[in-house]
């Protein structure tokens, strides 16, 4: 939600769901209306992503189950990308290993294998259709965020042992925090 206070536009930092929250498993629905509330959600998602020092955030992670992702993989943090209703048209045969983290899985980084290059079709916030050929970190990030829209988390690609270790640690951390608060 955005609030106008005089001339100031106040954006909100949204709550990020933490793995293994079952709401991270909900499949997001296509966006049908490219309206003002949608633009406000996008602004809030960027605010949330930058505040958390992230490079990508899917709507699913902030408990909004619509097909919307925001990204900024630039070192200067000034290249905002919004992908609405993204679909992958092509993937390269070549796969690569890349270290991944996730704002919903704080403190854990693990290597995941994915196609090196992808061709994605998406809509921007004005409702116009675009295509983007991505490689490297951008490609990894788009694939990671698109997984979220389908209820998938990068941890799902790891061994059962690693999944259980991560779950145990995050549940334990949460329990500690609830004693304090
Ligand atoms: C997905 O993830 C990604 O654990 C985006 O303590 C990440 O922005 C794709 C973050 C890496 C490709 C490579 C994670 C921030 C941010 C943490 C993120 C943390 C603070 C993760
Ligand atoms: Co993630």
Report the alpha-carbon distance of residue 51 to residue 46 in Å, rounded.
8
CB contact burial 116-140 (16+ within 10 A = b; e otherwise): bbbebebbebeeeeeebebeeebbb
Q: Which two tokens stand for residue 134?
A: 């991505």
DSSP annotation string for 37-54: HHHHHHHHHHHHHHHTT-
Q: Is 72 a pocket residue for ligand 1 (Cβ < 6 Å)? A: no
For residue 13, count other CB atoms closer than 10 A to its CB: 14
**Which residues make beta-bridge pairs with 71?**
56, 81
What sign does the dihedral 5-47-107-88 (CA atoms) show?
positive
At residue 140, does pLDDT exceed 80?
A: yes
Q: How many whole angstroms from 151 Cα to the centroid of ligand 1?
A: 17
Question: Phi, psi at residue 157, to the nearest 5°?
Answer: -85, -10
Determine whether 145 is an active site residue: yes
DSSP, collapsed to helix, strand or coil, labels residue 105 as: coil
**Which residues make beta-bridge pairs with 99?**
111
pLDDT at 50: 98
Q: How many whole angstroms from 105 Cα to the centroid of ligand 2?
A: 7
160 burial (CB, 10 Å; 0-12 / 13-18 / 19+) is exposed
What confidence tens digit (pLDDT) does each residue in 24-63 have?
999 999 999 999 999 999 999 999 999 999 999 999 999 9
Q: Chain-centre distance of CA 140, in angstroms?
A: 11
Pocket test for ligand 1, best of 48, 102, 173 (most atoms within 8 A of CB): 102
Residues listed for the chain = 181
At residue 7, does pLDDT exceed 90?
A: no
What confidence tens digit (pLDDT) does each residue in 58-97 have?
999 999 999 999 999 999 999 999 999 999 999 999 999 9
Q: Is 106 a pocket residue for ligand 1 (Cβ < 6 Å)? A: yes
Report angle CA 146, 160, 156 to the nearest 5 degrees.
Answer: 5
pLDDT band at 4 (very low <50, low <70, confident <90, very high): low
- Please tell me whether the overall predicted TM-score, pTM, comes out greater than 0.75 for this model: yes
Q: Is 112 a pocket residue for ligand 1 (Cβ < 6 Å)? A: no
């Amino acid at each position: 939600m955005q609030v106008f206070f005089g001339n100031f536009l106040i954006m909100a930092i949204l709550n990020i769901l933490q793995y293994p929250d079952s709401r991270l498993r909900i499949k997001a629905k296509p966006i049908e209306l490219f309206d003002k509330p949608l633009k406000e959600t996008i602004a809030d998602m960027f605010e949330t992503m930058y505040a958390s020092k992230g490079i990508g955030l899917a709507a699913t992670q902030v408990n909004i189950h619509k097909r919307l992702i925001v990204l900024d993989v630039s070192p200067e943090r000034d290249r905002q990308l919004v992908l609405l209703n993204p679909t992958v048209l092509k993937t390269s045969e070549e796969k690569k290993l890349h270290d991944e983290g996730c704002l919903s899985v704080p403190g854990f980084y693990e290597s995941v294998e994915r196609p090196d290059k992808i061709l994605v079709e998406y809509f921007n916030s004005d409702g116009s259709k675009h295509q983007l050929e991505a490689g490297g970190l951008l490609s990894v990030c788009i694939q990671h965020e698109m997984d979220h829209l389908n209820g998938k988390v990068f941890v799902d690609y790891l061994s059962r042992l690693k999944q259980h270790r991560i779950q145990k640690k995050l549940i334990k951390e949460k329990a500690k925090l609830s004693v304090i608060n």
